[in-house]
Amino acid sequence: MRYIIIGAGAVGGTIGGRLAESGHDVVLVARGAHLEALRRDGLRLISPHGAVTVPITAVGGPEELDLRDGDVLVLAVKTQDTAAILAAWAPRPVTGGGAAGEVLPLVCAQNAVENERMALRLFRHVYGMCVWLPALHLEPGTVVSHGAPLSGMLTLGRYPGGTDETAERIAAGLRDSMFAAPVEPDVMRWKYAKLLGNLGNAHQAICGRVPGSEPLMERLQAEGRAVLDAAGIPYTSPEEERRTRGDQVDETAVGGVDRPGGSSWQSLAKGSGSIEADYLNGEIVLLGRLHGVPTPANETVRRVAAEFAREHRPPGSMSMPTLLKLVEEEAAAHR
């Protein structure tokens, strides 16, 4: 198998770097200064185990690559970028016949639950991956992996359900490369549970990691559970997740430095102009509107996070009391 990692940021860079380090054939797809650094110097991967520089092939897009039978496409971009990426890769010809969307497996190594559904419109063989992988990417050419003793847990399965030989082979490669990689026939049950955990990404981006965030997080997740229950969508329990992960992966300081924030915090820190909140908190808002369940906390943090991204406001620049006040105002408006 050749792994083509589309999106070589914190998650994609860690997955691709570990696979390449263990001898697998890997191509990283990146852009801008990050792509230039990867081509010039390779990938610098820093972790609790030390720092390594991994020589690796890097390209800017599908037009720079001859796809072939046996390739695995691993999508590791933010959800707001998925549609454009799928449209660029699906029609690409594969040596031996057919287009990528018809013959190659596509793994959605992403947060949120919309990616697989978008992918299935254009790709016949879609796999969901529930990603628990604490990592950081702010500097071109460099990814910091905060997971130890393993770098992450990557739960994999076919979408919309089931498992197959391809999933098992991908998982085996990941297990060879410092990842836990369970194969589950209902991977979306794991991804919906991860969605509940990711509901805090936006408020962390807005306010930073500050004391006093627990009540808001509890409220966001209570709304999330209420809408999933109303929609009849199953999700794993925290106990099941802890049993499966065990002590295989813990978030660990690297060089004495903790990770300052998750993926949404990093989007604001890099000034990317977009944020994933529409597909995290926004998924709860959507389901709430479909099933008549009020979701004022998720609507507020979704809206404010989107404003922060559009206006290029720095992460952590709103106080938690201010955000909580906006939540209460939103709740009062819907009473």
pLDDT at residue 23, as a whole number: 96
pLDDT at residue 334, as a whole number = 79
- Residue 318 CA to residue 36 CA, distance in Å, equals 34
Taking the domain 192-333, which CATH number applies?
1.10.1040.10
Of how many residues is the chain composed? Answer: 335
In this prediction, residue 96 carries a pLDDT of: 86
Helix (H, G, I), strand (E, B) or coil at 305: helix
Q: Where are the domains of the chain?
A: 2-185, 192-333
How is residue 217 written in tokens? 């997080």
- In DSSP notation, 89-143 reads HTT-BEETSSBHHHHSEEEEE-SSSSHHHHHHHH-SEEEEEEEE--EE--STTEE
> What class is the 2-185 domain?
alpha beta
Predicted local confidence at residue 93, as pLDDT: 98
pTM of the predicted model, to two decimals? Answer: 0.95
Identical fold between 2-185 and 192-333:
no
Q: Are 184 and 145 in contact (CB under 8 A)?
A: no
Q: How high is the mean pLDDT of the chain?
A: 96
Which class for 320: exposed (0-12), middle (13-18), buried (19 or more C-beta within 10 A)?
Answer: middle
pLDDT given at position 260: 87
Query: To which H or E segment does residue 321 belong?
Result: helix 320-333
CA distance 42 to 141: 7
Taking the C-alpha atoms of residue 105 and residue 107, their distance in angstroms, rounded to an integer, is 7
The long-range contacts involving 221-226, CB below 8 angstroms and separated by at least 24 positions, are 221/196, 223/284, 223/288, 223/293, 223/294, 223/295, 223/296, 223/297, 223/298, 224/195, 224/196, 224/199, 224/284, 224/298, 225/196, 226/288, 226/293
69: closest CA among 119, 158, 4?
4
Q: What is the pLDDT of residue 288?
A: 98
What pLDDT does 335 receive? 74
The answer to whether the beta carbons of residues 71 and 107 sit under 8 Å apart is no
Flag residues of the chain having pLDDT under 50: none
pLDDT at 160: 97
